Amino acid sequence: MHSNRLSPRLGWAAACWAVLLAGCGSGAPTQATAGGASPEGAKPGAELSGKLVITGSSTVAPLCAEIGKRFEKLHPGVRVDVQTGGSSRGIGDARGGLADIGMASRALNADEADLMGHAIARDGVCVILHKDNPVAELKDEQIVAIYTGKIANWKDLGGKDAPITVVNKAEGRSTLELFLHHYKMKNTQIKASVVIGDNEQGIKTVTGNPDAIGYVSIGTAEYAATHGVPVKLLPMNGVAASIQSVKDGTFPLARPLTLVTKAEPSVLAKAFIAYARSKDVHDLVKDLYFVPLD
């Protein structure tokens, strides 16, 4: 074959890929198995040591990572490994023993009674628009009408004459679940123009499109809005979407950030959860625009 003369270059590419794949493949399982082992010598009073694997919600992960860093400083023998992958994964991993602690951005469901949930903070979900969009408030039924495609132009809502770009979240995200649950919609009814993955992509999509409407976690949205990003957080039922209104419980679209363990967590996991719920980490919770529990 004539194309044989090109093979050295292809060979190199293949070799690089093989190395990369091998790296990825061997990395993950090792961490997972190490996490299953209970820490040695972790009696009450004794210095904690061992490895703590925490997986789950991408909303809770940044907070857990920060708490983990501080926890590692307090207990030099402890390693905290935080991996993201969504609330479903967090709950699945906690149940299956792949992780010592799962992270979920919701309270536990009724069919998850075999697990223990420990709330560490609250987070709200809010609807966001581009800053240049003249619409200042939307009623619940208007949001439902927009998301189900019954209203498709901003002029019907007092805005300019432009088609609405409806930004929805991908299947399985807890933000989507919370949003659908609150507005009593089914995902099959939603007529989306864009489907996104994480909160950051939602902010980027709305800032890049003055006619877009989306919903993201309030922590992310308030952080963006206070850092010069042209987004606007819509109030709900007259309550401003802010950290404050989530904290005092008046904002309707809010959820607890939960650490999930099996009924009998290890000593190390118990210690970490107690620390994550303590006042010592409230500054970290606030730094990430979540709301600490009192």
Partner 1 sequence: MSHSTKDALLAWVLRACAVAAGLIVVLIVVFLCLEAAPALRNAGWARFFTDPSWHPNRRAADGTFNLTPMLWGTFFAMTGAVLVATPLGVLSAAFLHFYAPKGLAVYYRRLIELLAGIPSVVYGFWGLVTLVPLINRVHPPGASLLAGIAILSIMILPTIALMADAALANVPRAYLHGAAALGLSRWGTLRGVVLPAARSGLFTGVILETGRAIGETMAILMVCGNVVQTPRSLFDPIRTLTANIALEMAYAMGDHRSALFVSGLMLMGQIVLLVAAAEYIGRGRVHG
Q: What is the binding site for partner 1 (CB under 8 A)?
A: 1-3, 5-6, 9, 84-89, 92, 162-163, 165, 170-173, 187-188, 192-197, 201, 204-205, 208-209, 211-212
| Pairing, β 254-262 against β 115-130 | antiparallel
Work out how close the CB of 10 gets to partner 1 at its nearest, in angstroms, rounded to a whole number.
8
Work out how close the CB of 205 gets to partner 1 at its nearest, in angstroms, rounded to a whole number.
7
* φ/ψ of residue 27, rounded to 5: -65, -55
Return the number of the residue (183 or 275) whose C-beta is nearest partner 1: 183
Return the number of the residue (1 or 110) whose C-beta is nearest partner 1: 1
The identity of residue 138, as a single letter, is: L
282: helix, coil or strand?
helix
Return the number of the residue (10 or 107) whose C-beta is nearest partner 1: 10
Distance CA 36, CA 99 (A): 7
Return the number of the residue (119 or 195) whose C-beta is nearest partner 1: 195
Return the number of the residue (71 or 179) whose C-beta is nearest partner 1: 179
Return the number of the residue (13 or 107) whose C-beta is nearest partner 1: 13
Work out how close the CB of 183 gets to partner 1 at its nearest, in angstroms, rounded to a whole number.
17
**Cα distances (Å, whole numbers) of residue 215 to 2, 41, 220, 221, 271:** 55, 46, 10, 9, 35
Work out how close the CB of 72 gets to partner 1 at its nearest, in angstroms, rounded to a whole number.
25
Taking a C-beta distance cutoff of 8 angstroms, is the pair 91, 104 a contact?
yes
Q: Break the chain down into helix, strand, coil percent, rounded to 5.
A: 45, 20, 35
Work out how close the CB of 254 gets to partner 1 at its nearest, in angstroms, rounded to a whole number.
21
Which helix (H) or strand (E) segment holds residue 287: the answer is helix 282-287
Distance CA 60, CA 87 (A): 9
**109-117: long-range contacts, CB 8 A cutoff, minimum separation 24:** 112/260, 114/262, 114/263, 115/91, 115/260, 115/261, 115/262, 115/263, 116/260, 116/261, 116/262, 116/263, 116/265, 117/258, 117/259, 117/260
Return the number of the residue (2 or 279) whose C-beta is nearest partner 1: 2
Work out how close the CB of 192 gets to partner 1 at its nearest, in angstroms, rounded to a whole number.
5
Return the number of the residue (31 or 201) whose C-beta is nearest partner 1: 201
Work out how close the CB of 118 gets to partner 1 at its nearest, in angstroms, rounded to a whole number.
22
Taking a C-beta distance cutoff of 8 angstroms, is the pair 168, 190 a contact?
yes
Work out how close the CB of 224 gets to partner 1 at its nearest, in angstroms, rounded to a whole number.
13
Dihedral sign, Cα of residue 132, residue 134, residue 136, residue 138: negative
Distance CA 101, CA 272 (A): 9
